[in-house]
Amino acid sequence: MTEPESLDNWFVREILPHEGALLRYLARVWPDAAEIQDIRHDAYVRILEGAHRLRPTAPKALLFSIARNLMIDRARRSRIVPIDLMGDLDALNVLVDEVTPERRASIRQQLVSVTEAVNRLPARCREVLWLRRVESLSYREIAARLEITEGTVEKHMAHAARLLADMLSAPEKRDGPSGAARAREESLHGK
């Protein structure tokens, strides 16, 4: 059995080759050239944080999506958004590798794993996560709807994130013993 590829090697192989295209894209759509390196750095940090738990199946598309979302976040925070910037953000045309049947099966399995993990969250954590990530409510809106404090909303979100990270990064812990280990246990106990 081969050892999993180190995160550094994966990053160099899958992400860094797209740096030139990323910087050209950022220079084309982001009005403040002084912030381009910061956006690139933040995108790298986010992709590394995510890849630490689970390697993405389409790293180039994910890198550009993260960069796009970072620009949207910065634009929202500044509250001054030139009309031409928003048009360029919507026109992101990143070529995505063709999805092979193997990749499609892998994506489907990841989706099943995430769905199962979310369904195993405590009810309140799952509800807060849903309101934040699916309905896009602010912490204040969630707190008002559920009649709890914003601090409690933050705690539920952090707890949900920790639980999901644990469940998704350690499948053997999440599902109990592996199929082979379960079979050994059953044969020992006469099942």
Task: Spell out the domains of the chain, with CATH numbers in brackets.
Answer: 1-97 (1.10.1740), 99-176 (1.10.10.10)
* Structure confidence at residue 31 (pLDDT): 87
Tokens of 114: 């995430």
DSSP the chain: -PPPPPHHHHHHHHTGGGHHHHHHHHHHH-S-GGGHHHHHHHHHHHHHHHHHHS--SSHHHHHHHHHHHHHHHHHHHH----HHHHHHHHT--PPPPPPPHHHHHHHHHHHHHHHHHHHTS-HHHHHHHHHHHTS---HHHHHHHHT--HHHHHHHHHHHHHHHHHHHH-HHHHSSS-HHHHHHHHHHTT-
- Which is higher by pLDDT, 91 or 67? 67
Tokens of 13: 């192989």
Q: Over 90: is that where the pLDDT of 174 sits?
A: no
Q: Over 90: is that where the pLDDT of 182 sits?
A: no
Give mean pLDDT, residues 165-175. 66
Give mean pLDDT, residues 132-138. 86
Give mean pLDDT, residues 90-103. 61
Give mean pLDDT, residues 25-52. 90
CA of residue 154 relative to chain centroid, distance:
18
Q: How confident is the model at residue 177 (pLDDT cuts 50, 70, 90)?
A: very low
Tokens of 32: 């403040």
Mean pLDDT of the chain: 79
Contact 66, 51 (CB under 8 A): no
Q: Over 90: is that where the pLDDT of 140 sits?
A: yes
pLDDT in tens, 3-28: 567 888 888 988 999 999 999 999 99
* Structure confidence at residue 37 (pLDDT): 93
Q: How confident is the model at residue 154 (pLDDT cuts 50, 70, 90)?
A: very high
pLDDT in tens, 77-89: 776 545 555 555 5
Give mean pLDDT, residues 70-74. 87
pTM of the model: 0.43
* Structure confidence at residue 111 (pLDDT): 83
* Structure confidence at residue 53 (pLDDT): 83
